[in-house]
Structure 1
């Protein structure tokens, strides 16, 4: 139960925390919480699966730190697509790579602020790529001025396209205007901070009012650009298993970056429309793999203060205590 509590620190789209956990003798099950699916923002459930995959990897790291052996079976129940993984306990075989990531769980933050102009060493990027590879994904650096500009243009256009989708603005408003004391969603303070000092090179989702966002400054057009790198988590396929493993790889990359002293910002908005990943794959990255998520990584800016942890739901609120609990049952199509 302590390990699951630490898994709840995983990042998720809009901090929706779309997961449920069931503890049974000798195993833990991870289920999707369909009630927290963002139908307008995430129509094909890519973000939901990425979020749950990140929580699954966080759990593996937390279990390894407690010398608890396990075996992960992903998507083991073809009759229940909401049952994403079963973690069976067994003999402990230490994974030094997972153990090395453990302290990053408590320290990792999504940092939307401008980053330092200090370049990220190639060796550091290689470490991040190795961690992604261990989880079955490829980490593709967005290198070269042309590719970088194409990617930033796609990021800049995505919020405008999404804003025209029915329900998108209301979902954004719902998860950025949580009531006082809420344990999910994006805190208003984080939104305000981003609005006061946005990263000129990396557009975020539209403002909380639901009005169309302002276009962002492209790197090279101003003097305030930082030296953050862009990397894309990509997989060889694009089914539910690939997306779940992409979430695990995202967790590994974020925790490894934290251990190296780097700060990170995951970006999903350019991947949320049905056609967007295909366009990025074909026109921007030009790779055979399927892009799943973009991560901005760099050194914290000089004088940057430590960000507070975003809120999380309690363990009791995410546990399935009733074997007939229907919250983990997939809704009918279109609901």
Structure 2
């Protein structure tokens, strides 16, 4: 038997926000401190409940970060004997992903964790799932309506740009004529636009701006082609931000082929190979900005809490938050040892 669904809690917009007015009552004199764990205590969260069926669908793992997203989600589900995880085949076809979610609805799963290949395209089917009483946890790429998800887990794309720009300001901000270059990901994606906006805003704080910019596609081949184009157009560069460490393999190959080493480079996402480059001290790559590959794993954990009518033990609030935005820290040679053990392989 599946845990009962909270249909009344996830259909209306008011339910997304009304929980903010709730509070826990403190202990009073004479209260039984040996009472059963509450729904947001550590013991209550970890205790095995009724089995919940969670459907997970994401894009095709065509680069290391997405592969890490999928493996981390599966590994998280395996920690809990009360999770029955149903994983749809990864796809970059929005119509196929829509059909996968429709199958989850027909199967009456208890929750859906969805990293959409296109947030806008998957919004309607996510709303249908919500209307069917199935909580949807939106990961990484946002839907276009607040009615499409009970909870959303995001990396901080704007914050990534801010972190990259702030680091470059610290390194070359005392050079008013510094040439700053940028190799973005897929320009059509809002996440790429957010990263570039944050980068621009942070650079403005030290009087710099992006002088040369190209976009790639998160792949090694795309990164190499875009970097070759950029290097040919910019004979002198002081600092370069590459949005993605997977495409960064190709970017570094193009830099090596061109024999260029006059600039510092900052990566993005936080892959293990990028961190090893930083650790070596022999590369133009001096830093990378974390974009957590744990987002879907976090989504799995939140889905379990929602389906079992539990909450987050580190919050006083007695319901799972509507929105969780993860941090975008800078990894350098000074702290790489802290991040390398849990980094993903490109």
One fold, TM greater than 0.5? no
TM-score (norm 1): 0.22
Question: Quick one: higher RCO (CA 8 Å, sep 6+), 1 or 2?
Answer: 1
TM-score (norm 2): 0.21
